[in-house]
Amino acid sequence: MSFDADHLRRCARLARLALADDEIAPLEREIARMLDLVGELHHAALDAVEPMAHPLGLTLVPRPDAVTEGDAHEALLALAPETRLGLYLVPKVIE
């Protein structure tokens, strides 16, 4: 893919980047090299590569779905300044 100075100026303008004229040529060469590398990767043989969820092959260890903390409803209600019928009372905010 060709990436010329006009493309670079247009992308810089869209990204709201100010590029000096002496920055255009070196940056154009760098971007062209990156695009060439992406083009090479596009042609890589990936038929024998299996998809993976993680590069290190880690797996999640399942644990039992069990309750680890008891019901603390009453203890938490005791901390509130006002409660009624097992609910927290809060001041009215919207008039």
Write down the residue that tokens 């070196």 correspond to.
Answer: 26
Q: What pLDDT is recorded for position 1?
A: 55
Domain boundaries, the chain: 5-42
- Which pTM value belongs to this model? 0.47
Q: pLDDT tens for the chain, 95 residues: list them.
A: 577 889 899 999 999 999 999 999 999 999 989 999 998 888 888 888 888 877 887 788 898 999 889 899 999 999 999 999 999 999 888 87
The secondary structure of 60-86 as a DSSP string is PPP------S---HHHHHHHSS-EETT
